[in-house]
Chains A and B, each alone.
Chain A
Amino acid sequence: MIDSALNVSNPVSEDPEEKIHQLLTFLRSRLNVISTSLYLLETSMDPADSAAKKYLIKINQEIDSIRKYINE
């Protein structure tokens, strides 16, 4: 065990551009999960429930603002 010990006191080199890309990929994938879930929720809800629909529209607007920021 001791022989295989890994001393990592030195910093690991990292490519910042790649890291940003990874973060964006993560954010996009999670936003897709939220959008799909909202769509499923909308199709499962009572179509006459206008109050609930109002909130769904607001949530989608906020998601669009995040998506727009990420895509910029």
Chain B
Amino acid sequence: MNKFKPQILIVEDDELIRNIFQQSLENWGYPVDTAENGQDALDKIRKKNYHIVITDLNMPVMDGMTLLNRIKSDWPYIETIVVTGFATIESAIDALKMGAFDFILKPVNFDQVKITVKKCHHKIQADAENTHLKKINARLKELNEMKDKFLSITNHEIRTPLTIIKGYIEILDGMVQSHEPEIQEIFQILKTTIQELTQTIERMHTLSRANRGEWIAKPHLVDVTQVAHKVYNEMHRLFDHRSIQIKVSIPDHPLYIRGSFHALQIILRELLQNALKFTQDGGKVHLKIYETHKQVAICVQDNGIGIPYEKQEAIFSLFYEVQDVVYHKTSKNEFMGGGMGIGLSLVKEFITHMKGKIVVDSDPGIGSSFVVYLPKVRKEQPHKEVRSDEQSSITFPG
């Protein structure tokens, strides 16, 4: 508990009892003021911020019930504890109904006072923390909505001009037709940079949709082996190009999960792309699909550079790249090539929506393995299966 101590006001017409209350509470570390009756208490509450009011019920000028009524009407956040004799316990119950925190019976047992005040102190603290958390949650919600709106508008406002720029640059390239290496290099930089911008905007849009669960909203029965074959056929040339030996172990029978063909394609592509990026030329990558009792596992293992231990927790965080993301300019398919740190965020998002999990095992200098576990589904369970000709298309960056 932190050092917050609630400010307490004792309202009691009997001076002796008032002084005993004050001394006891001050001994327990609480800051205390006193008032002789309800009216005196109201005057003090108007001038100072109190957290707890401990009030007698029977007092001259203004009684405790009237005081409680005024407090709950004008300062509802102030907690009130009433002190009453056994003969007026019904009044104490009425006080509870009006919003008093608790009551203390006369003759006063100060052990009970200590416990009651402590309970009230905890409640005030819990309420304050709750209010603080609510404010943080509201702010986070607002920021997330702002992010989604920003991404949606960005996709719309930037993609079109980029497409136009790309077109003009192609026309210019055709018009200039220079063989000077310097001009050729400038055109190459322009094309690569525009491609990178376009891909980033598209992937951010995909991630935004994934965050909202759009891809997985209507899950289908998907054969993981079919997706693995498709992605391998698309990508193996990228590995061949860099003399990376890619081995595939895919069962010859279907393994079904419930999810999205498209999302699963992205998961596999991103994991293979990641292996490609962090494996030196001439290295080895193994794509393995297998089943456990209840799950289908997709394992991508490489003997690349691995991930530093201190960075392993952050790799699924949006825009997190192990190397610098802003100043690189190499292709994503090259060793330690560029990227914006979106791919693994997408992977994590899709897996979460498909009720799966991903386990990363990486040793710097030895290699990494990413294993995705997705709940296995038996084919007999009625569900629509997505055929490859129904797949939505997506351009794989590279």
Contacts and interface: CB of A to CB of B under 8 A. Distances in A.
B164 A62 contact: yes
25 contacts: A1-B361, A6-B312, A6-B362, A8-B357, A8-B358, A9-B351, A11-B352, A16-B146, A20-B147, A23-B200, A27-B197, A29-B327, A37-B189, A41-B183, A44-B183, A49-B175, A52-B172, A52-B175, A56-B172, A58-B164, A59-B169, A62-B162, A63-B165, A65-B161, A66-B162
B317 A14 contact: yes
A37 B169 CA distance: 11
B18 to A, nearest CB: 50
Contacts of B197: 27, 30-31
Nearest to A40: B186
Interface residues of B, number: 57
A71 interface: no
B352 to A, nearest CB: 7
Interface residues of A, number: 44
Contacts of A16: 140, 143-144, 146-147
Interface of A: 1-2, 4-9, 11-12, 14-17, 19-20, 22-23, 25-27, 29-31, 33-34, 37-38, 40-41, 44-45, 49, 51-52, 55-56, 58-59, 62-63, 65-66, 69
B162 to A, nearest CB: 7
B326 interface: yes
B141 to A, nearest CB: 10
Given A12-B313, A55-B171, A55-B172, A5 B158 contact: no
Given A25-B326, A27-B158, A27-B197, A12 B363 contact: no
A7 B357 contact: yes
B348 to A, nearest CB: 7
A7 B351 CA distance: 13
Interface string B196-218: 11001000100000000000000
